[in-house]
Structure 1
Amino acid sequence: MKKSIVSICVLLFSIGIAAQSNVQGYVFEDANQNAKKDRKENGIPNVAVTNGVEVVLTDKKGKYELPLADDQIISVIKPSNYRINVSENNLPLFFYNYKPNGSPELKFKGVVPTGKLPKSVDFGLIKQEEKEEFTALVFGDPQPYTEEEVAFFAKGIVAEVEGIKNVPFGLSLGDLVGNDLNLFNPYIQTVKKIGIPWYNVIGNHDLNFDAKSDKMADETFEAHFGPANYAFNYAKTHFIILDDILYPDPRDGKGYWGGFTEDQLKFIENDLNKVPKDYLIVLAFHIPLTEPSEEDTFRDKDRARLFEILKDFPNTLSLSAHTHIQRQDFFNKKEGWQREKQHHEYNVGTTSGDWYSGKLNEAGIPVSTMRDGTPKGYAFIRFNGNEYSLDYKVAGKPKEFQMEIFAPKVVAKGRGTKAGIYVNFFMGSKDDSVKYRVDKGEWKVMEYIEEIDPTYAIDVYEWDLSEELIPGRRSSNPIASKHLWRGKIPTNLETGEHRIEIKATNMFGKTFDANSSYRLENAK
């Protein structure tokens, strides 16, 4: 009897093994760049490959093997000093989507059936020199809801960076479109014009809202861009791209919530086990880890687990978008970060600004200033080894335009006033230095405040006070800015015009200047 039981157990175990599916292949040096492994092309050892959970390294011949389910994407984690082939649309070809039966039927088309698994799923890489000093271009929320808004994005943002030089790749931080996933292709064709490889993050407006489970909510995204969770290296920086939208919300089955699945957290952990500890780790996702309004927008246990995984890496940065404002957030031990050096999250201003609202400029494009007074634009991340710095470029303005000054036009001489000089330093954070002086007098420190930006408030309320309809669409109501400073107005000077100078220094030691003026007149 015991022998029969043992035999049955062995048989069941054998059947289970047989039912498992594995994928294997090579990572190779694609010398002729034809994206196929030719006989004379050598494999590349010690390259990471993943099925979205497990991560393995190729052997000395460049071979890998991974377990594979019917709905998984195999992707190579690009090593430093190699590049990946790109499609005709400049999308990196680093993955193989294995979905033999295709996506389920959804409102927006997903992945077509991929059929039988090839005997070898190979990834070709091309050698390139990667200097430790490089720059990446970052977009927050392009988010067009219509073809017209795709055109606004093309003319107002992409046209400025088309043909950009000395930038090896770009990244969009989610909400590539606004719910209509048929706009993925127009978005792709627009970003293609920039002329560099372009990576993409999934956002909450990029989901299949008719999906019944979180696993199926990215089917159309996968059909256009590949996996929503992946990684790659460039020089001494390791990038991890993540889908941090839980949909439907696991609390009530409605809407969405920020967070990660267990498989994602395992992927991050397995991936980082293969990364040198002195690399800069850059995590990119859509919904911020921070919850500054005390709203429960991100699942706390997932953030805590992420911080636990990152505790052995001294150099880190998070990138997010989603909010349609701009701010610099920091995590210390009080917030669960486990290192002395704080963790920085840059919540990037958006390329759609305030959802393509506001007055139309001379080119007929909405100015789209965001609710915190940040003009729409895009970011550059400057890397140097495992260090970084950030720059924000306002669309349609010179790169030197880094702050907006608000001051009264005229003030009564000798009278006290509750009016003030306000500076919105778009890339600023609470601990930055912002100073001002009047008529080349003594430099004075401005007071950091969290209030609405008066310049933006005036622009918004003009819509409400106008006797005639203004072309375009009224902007959103102002909210408190996280990068606003105030100074007192000297009224004890001579009558006439007085020059205001501003000097702002950010967390990276970069200093920016701006100026304005006000007029003093004798009270009547």
Structure 2
Amino acid sequence: MKYLTSFFTLFFLIVGLAVGQSANTASGIVFEDTNGNMLKDPGELGIQSVSVSNGRDVVLTDQNGRYELPVDNDDILFVIKPSGYDLPVDERNLPKFYYIHKPMGSPELDFSGVKPTGDLPESVDFGLIKAEEKKDFKILVFGDPQPYTEQEVEYFDQDIVSELVGADEFEVGITLGDIVGDDLDLFDPYTQSVARIGIPWFNVYGNHDMNFDAPTDSLADETFERVFGPATYSFNHGDVHFIILDDVVYPRTDGESGYIGGFTEEQLTFVENNLEHVSKNKLVVVAFHIPMFQPPNRRTFRLGDRNRLLEMLEEFPHTLSLSAHTHIQHIEFFDEDSNWNRLEPHIHYNVGTTSGDWWSGVPNEHGIPPTIMRDGTPNGYAIINFEGNEFTLDYKAAGYDDSYRMSIWGPKVVPQNSWHNAEMFVNYFLGSDKTEVHYRIGNRPWREMQKVNEQDPYVSSLRQKWDNSDTILRGKRPSNPIQSTHLWSGRVPNNLSLGEQTIEVRVTDQFGKVKREFYDRFTYEVVKPIEDQ
């Protein structure tokens, strides 16, 4: 430990001296890469008015595609892809849009970082590939694959990736952090797995993706940078402007241990400078790992940082933010009570995770745990549908048909015309305070179900299976259930004829101007009361 401390002290002294003596100016050209070889060849022309950044400053290329930016000895230069162009990708479908400038490389860490990059090249060029982008498109969004072992990478590959191989209806994919579970050597099998989907894939930095032995926040993402590039960056697609942010502050600076959600001054400067070059007609989508909302009686995000980000976003009529981290699914609406000063609330979508409840539960016939999350959401992934600068959200449960949007739990039998208090519960996985749920039997009028803040009884029953078992069950015991934010209940009618009865359920949700309805059914049996049998 004494040796490691001395090493870091020496590293900072040398880097500080180098930065102080030789802050550089990087220059280069953004060009149309007509042959896709990522090199500027004779005849390939520069592209005007493309944003380029060092993670703080943002400049536009001139009429010849040229730019200049200040660069320190621990910077990453990157191009902000404009609409109408694609980025080159490597063999793992990771976009190549950046140049790492670390002349000394990363310090020695448990997991390797960036090797020394040497002197700044005379020209740092970025190639873009001309493309016809659709205004209406879809993207995939993964929350927390978070494998702790190669076995869990295999679960992820079989349960999530396998059903998406060749899914060319999606333009790009984003993983919202916790790409792995502390073992950064698993970045490699993770990227190999996701590459099978066959689309460009962007990655967000999470709290389980960090170099925990790094002494400062600025060095905690060295391995992430080696594999994926910058942890804060941006790109455009169609009428959507995406901003990817590292919101894991580690170590904390408020006297408490561990990490906290928030942004650095440098990141907020980047966002402000970046948005100066973004049209107000764009939909601005900001993606990070730790959600901006606070659980009761816990401080998990620096509210000052959140308020500053929201203040910048208020200038834009169309916004959306994305996070993961919680291993539940939740939609939060930020309004004036949250220092959001637009008439329409800002929607923050906390996406359910691909690993669900950390791959828990008794494995199925394929050897994969059911891993239902604590709020009743099955593991899976989000699909965001963009129509110009409008969007709708979908959530696909892994291994289920596309139509599976809710789970319904209730009694199998009820006594006819006898006192009973049985209830039916509908867990609509994408439900929110703006969702309406109704139910009916036959041609009877629709009746509204009540939104309740309770544990999903189905999830509770699964957990009780473990605690009531006389033997040790296979797999990992699931986490205890929590109150779900997307659960509705209604009384199960028993004043019906004997026999099987079917309840029809209707869910109505709305994002912006788009209203959608979904239907499902629940079947139970009405029987004679015991005293009548």
Q: TM-score range by the shorter chain?
A: over 0.9
In structure 2, the partner of 1:10 is none
Q: How many residues align?
A: 510
Which among 178, 181, 185 is matched to residue 184 of structure 2?
A: 181
Task: Name the structure 2 match of 1:523.
Answer: 529
**Partners in 1 of 2:382 and 2:141 — Cα distance?**
5
Distance in structure 1 (CA, Å) of the matches to 2:401 and 2:492: 28
Show the counterpart of 2:435: 432
- Mapping for residues 198-347 of structure 1, pairs under 5 Å: 198-252=201-255, 254-347=257-350
After superposition, where does 1:410-429 map in structure 2 within 5 Å? 410-429=413-432
Deviation per CA, 1:76-126: give whole Å up to 9, x if none: 000000001001110000000000000001111000000111100000001
| Alignment counterpart, residue 458 of structure 1, candidates 440, 453, 461 | 461
Gaps of at least 5 residues in structure 2 are 1-18
2:451 paired residue number? 448
Report the CA distance between 1:133 and its aligned residue: 0.2
Shift in Å, 1:426: 0.5
Q: Which residue of 1 aligns with 2:149?
A: 146
- C-alpha separation in 1, matches of 2:21 and 2:27: 16
Aligned residue number for residue 67 of structure 1: 70
Question: % of aligned pairs identical?
Answer: 53
Match of 1:11 in 2: none
- Whichever residue aligns with residue 59 of structure 2, its letter is V
Correspondent of 1:109 among 107, 112, 117: 112
- Kindly indicate whether the alpha-carbon contact (under 8 Å) linking 2:175 and 2:203 is maintained by their aligned counterparts in 1: yes
The alpha-carbon deviation at position 519 of structure 1 amounts to 1.6
The structure-2 alpha-carbon separation of the partners of 1:17 and 1:360, relative to structure 1 and needing over 3 Å to count, comes to closer
Deviation at 1:460, TM superposition (A): 1.2
Question: What amino acid does structure 2 have at the position aligned with 1:127?
Answer: K
1:51 equivalent in alignment to 2:54:
yes
Deviation readout 1:281-316 (Å, 9 max, x if unpaired): 000000001114242110011011111111211100
Q: Partners of 1:91 and 1:253 in 2: how far apart?
A: 36
- SS in structure 1 opposite 2:510? coil
Residue of structure 2 in register with 1:498 after alignment: 501
Q: Which SS does the other structure have where 1:435 is aligned?
A: strand
Measured against aligned partners, the alpha-carbon deviations of 1:20-58 in whole angstroms (never above 9, x if no partner) come to: 311000000001111111121100000000000000000
> In the TM superposition, what is the alpha-carbon distance from 1:18 to its structure 2 partner?
7.6
Per-residue CA deviations over 1:335-385 (Å, capped at 9, x if unaligned) read: 111211110001000000000001212211011000000000001100011
CA drift of 1:180 comes to 0.5
CA distance in structure 1 between the aligned counterparts of 2:383 and 2:308, rounded to whole angstroms: 29
Unaligned regions of 5+ residues in structure 1, if any?
1-15
Once the two structures are overlaid, the 10-residue window that deviates more, 366-375 or 415-424, is 415-424
The 1-side partners of 2:331 and 2:153 are apart by 28
Aligned partners of 1:423 and 1:416: how far apart in 2? 23
What secondary structure does 2:320 align onto? strand
Give the SS at the match of 1:204.
Answer: coil
Deviation string, structure 1 residues 381-423 (Cα, Å, up to 9, x no partner): 0001110001110000000010011110111222232220100
Q: After the TM superposition, which of the residue ranges 491-500 and 422-431 deviates more from structure 2?
A: 491-500
Aligned match of 2:516: 510
Question: 1:148 is paired with a residue of what secondary structure?
Answer: helix
1:35 partner letter: M
1-structure distance, mates of 2:232, 2:339 = 24
Moved segments of 4+, more than 4 Å = none
Q: How far is the alpha carbon of 1:453 from its aligned partner?
A: 0.5
Other-structure match for 1:481 = 484
Matches within 5 A, 1:122-133: 122-133=125-136
Residue-by-residue CA offset, 1:484-521 (whole Å, 9 max, x unaligned): 00011112222222111101111242211111112222
Instruction: State how far apart, in whole Å, the 2-side matches of 1:28 and 1:461 are.
Output: 61
Question: What residue is the counterpart of 1:6 in the other structure?
Answer: none
CA distance in 2, matches of 1:451, 1:18: 61
TM-align CA RMSD: 1.3
- The one-letter amino acid of 2:423's match is G
